[in-house]
Structure 1
Amino acid sequence: MAFHRLIILVFIFLLSSSHLPLAAEETPDEARMQLYKKTATLTSIPWTTLAAIDQYERNINDVNDDRLTSIQVKPEWWFGLLATDENPSHYEATIQAFNGIGKDGDGDGYANPHHDEDVLYTVAKWLSDEIASGKSIKQSLETYYDRDKAAKLITQYRQLFQHFQTTDLDEHAFPIPSHYNYSYRSTWGAGRGYGGRRIHEGTDLFASYGTPVRSVSYGVVEVKGWNKYGGWRIGIRDADNVYHYYAHLNGFEDSIEEGSIVEPGDVIGYVGASGYGPIGTSGKFPPHLHYGMYRDNGKNEWAFDPYPSLKRWEH
């Protein structure tokens, strides 16, 4: 009888324990961070650099969200001069025979271009070897991507990740503080006459002189100064490769310089009516903030309508 009672108690315990709450699942950002840090340990390339390279490729490539890395394997880099079939047992031999750079990062014995750990480890090991040969990270990335701007953008992402110690930088803020009076509507594509026929690449937010202008995102100040169209303007690049353009300012916040790192809500300048002429020109139109958004796709940069984003951030 005692034995039967014990069996029943064990059964009840097992039944009840099956309903205990499960540990929280690992988020994609956390999983990627683990991969960055593991690879950094193996190669001595800082995790911030690996995350920045991965972020650059995530920004310019159409990547499956299930993947931990967005880096696209270059067949000529991985296999050398000759591609191979899909049999993992053939990868290593092909790489060795044709001077490819593919490496085994996950320890399964094969350098597999379809495994994220292998891909990230391969790029990190290649970069480590480049540095050991006397090249800088910037020079190596310019060679790898055959594009100077790629190295510049990756450097900016690395600075952001290093400063905030995370890759989770998706928060945004509205550019005008809510307790100030302002108005705006969709003006994307409207005609503009100054400087020749062109379209309006942004949204105008009308407000009084001196109204604070805030950064909408985490980012690096890429440009600060005068532009004959935008007057006193600031350009800030975020980690999603969006360039945020703030124009017609009356002045800048004292702490803001090119290279400054900002976060959502930081005051960067003040509403004005500058522009449409040589340096110092002002008053040719009512005071307002011209806000524009541009995205780099790995080849060129193009403008897109910021109005939907502004409406989302406002609420």
Structure 2
Amino acid sequence: MKRAIQLLLLTLIIISSTPQHTHANNEELSQEEIFKGRMELYQKMETVTQVPWYYLAAADTYERGLRRAQRDRPREEGLISIYYEPEVWAGPINPNKEDTDPLSISLFNGVGLDGNGDGIASLSDDEDVLYTFANYLEQYGFDEEDFRIALWDYYQREQSVSIIHGHATVYEHFGNLDLDDHAFPIPLNHNYSYKNTWGDRRGWGGRRIHEGTDIFAGYNVPVRATAYGKVEVKGWNMYGGWRIGIRDLDNIYHYYAHLSGFEKGIEEGSIVSPGDVIGYCGSSGYGKPGTQGKFPPHLHYGMYRDNGYTEWSFDPFPSLKSWERKAYQDRKKKK
């Protein structure tokens, strides 16, 4: 009896000393605290389930992007963005869609699990949500192919699998979460000019709109990555000529076109940081491979957002102006 009481007290101490990452604290935390709290959660679930932390971070980051792209999804209030419909969490035939009892949730074939030992499986508890997802991945195994299969079964979309796998590769490469910096694609010490050309009409190859911003600069001016990410595409496109496509951690695809060539070592699958040179400004495109000179040299820069169903272009001009302004401010501080 005495031993049982001691075990009970020990359990209560562990539960009370474990940080409870509920959805109420997100707006009260600094960015540094948010990254720290997320990493603690990822690493804790890695210890519990053996699922690598960067797999969990990648899926959570992907879902954070979906919350920003899908109007019918609420914004996350806590640290974790993985989303479950209440009827999926509690069970499709559960009369109580807000059920937090792990036993009754299980009886109604719900997915919700208790992730911190408090006897409650709550959609408003970050640990419960992350543990539920980690437990799902754990059932498939722990290597890269197991991860891909689990994601395919979960999302039923190859693009989603590819994006999350890319995020995992980036997180594993850098070993941290603080990867939100950006860079202007043209070095400030070169002459360049641009204006907002997104949505303008284009005629070559059929009537279409301009899905980007043209930044005019001389031949072979360096073109830089604007964000942390993974190179998804490299090669020739009859419209964009020599082009590179990079996916960042907001699920955004960055498209760099009309290049004169690529930086040595940049290949599909390469991991890049903001400011890394990836290629050089040119006038390639509008024809068969190698076509050059049909227009003045410039970088066509486009941004495309993925919402879990499809991908669409949006105006990159505001982002470019913001990154350019920040670059000038940083340069001024160094003087």
TM-score bin (small chain): 0.7 to 0.9
- Specify the SS of the correspondent of 2:258: strand
Q: Which amino acid aligns with 2:52?
A: P
Partner in structure 2 of residue 29 of structure 1: 35
Unaligned runs of 5+ in 2: 1-28, 68-72, 326-335
* Structure 1: distance between partners of 2:230 and 2:124: 33
Compared CA separation, residues 146 and 87, structure 1 to 2 (3 A): closer
Partner in structure 1 of residue 186 of structure 2: 176
* Structure 1: distance between partners of 2:251 and 2:261: 26
1:123-162 equivalences under 5 Å are: 123-131=133-141, 136-162=146-172
- Specify the SS of the correspondent of 1:158: helix
* Structure 1: distance between partners of 2:98 and 2:166: 38
Could you give the per-residue CA deviations for residues 79-125 of structure 1, whole angstroms, max 9, x where no partner exists? 34323426656x22322322333221011112223321111101111
Partner in structure 2 of residue 51 of structure 1: 57
Partner in structure 1 of residue 84 of structure 2: 73
* Conservation of the 8 A alpha-carbon contact between 1:88 and 1:110: no
Which residue of 219, 235, 239 maps to 1:209?
Answer: 219
Partner in structure 2 of residue 269 of structure 1: 279
* Conservation of the 8 A alpha-carbon contact between 2:193 and 2:216: yes
1:190-269 equivalences under 5 Å are: 190-269=200-279
TM-score by length of 2: 0.82
Could you give the per-residue CA deviations for residues 169-204 of structure 1, whole angstroms, max 9, x where no partner exists? 111111111111111111111110011000111111
Deviant stretches of 4+, over 4 Å: 86-89
Which residue of 23, 36, 44 maps to 1:38?
Answer: 44
RMSD: 1.9
**1:137 to partner: Cα distance:** 1.1
**1:314 to partner: Cα distance:** 0.8
Partner in structure 2 of residue 292 of structure 1: 302
* Structure 1: distance between partners of 2:36 and 2:76: 14
* Structure 2: distance between partners of 1:184 and 1:258: 28
Partner in structure 1 of residue 14 of structure 2: none
Which residue of 317, 327, 331 maps to 1:307?
Answer: 317
Q: Which amino acid aligns with 1:41?
A: T
* Structure 1: distance between partners of 2:95 and 2:146: 32
* Structure 2: distance between partners of 1:188 and 1:65: 31
* Conservation of the 8 A alpha-carbon contact between 1:220 and 1:238: yes
Which piece of structure 1 moves more, 243-252 or 136-145? 136-145
Partner in structure 1 of residue 66 of structure 2: 60
* Conservation of the 8 A alpha-carbon contact between 1:243 and 1:293: yes
Which piece of structure 1 moves more, 36-45 or 59-68? 59-68
Could you give the per-residue CA deviations for residues 251-300 of structure 1, whole angstroms, max 9, x where no partner exists? 00011000000001111000110000011111100011000011101111
- Specify the SS of the correspondent of 1:136: helix
* Structure 2: distance between partners of 1:96 and 1:186: 54
* Structure 2: distance between partners of 1:38 and 1:106: 10
- Specify the SS of the correspondent of 2:204: coil
* Conservation of the 8 A alpha-carbon contact between 1:63 and 1:70: no
The alignment covers a number of residue pairs equal to: 290
Which piece of structure 1 moves more, 213-222 or 144-153? 144-153
Could you give the per-residue CA deviations for residues 231-270 of structure 1, whole angstroms, max 9, x where no partner exists? 0000000001111000000000011000000001111000
* Structure 1: distance between partners of 2:87 and 2:149: 20
Which residue of 192, 197, 205 maps to 1:187?
Answer: 197
**1:130 to partner: Cα distance:** 2.4
* Conservation of the 8 A alpha-carbon contact between 1:75 and 1:83: no
TM-score by length of 1: 0.87
Partner in structure 2 of residue 3 of structure 1: none
* Structure 1: distance between partners of 2:304 and 2:130: 28
Partner in structure 2 of residue 14 of structure 1: none
Q: Which amino acid aligns with 2:57?
A: A
* Conservation of the 8 A alpha-carbon contact between 2:90 and 2:96: no
Percent identity between the two aligned chains = 57
Which piece of structure 1 moves more, 92-101 or 228-237? 92-101
* Structure 2: distance between partners of 1:50 and 1:131: 14
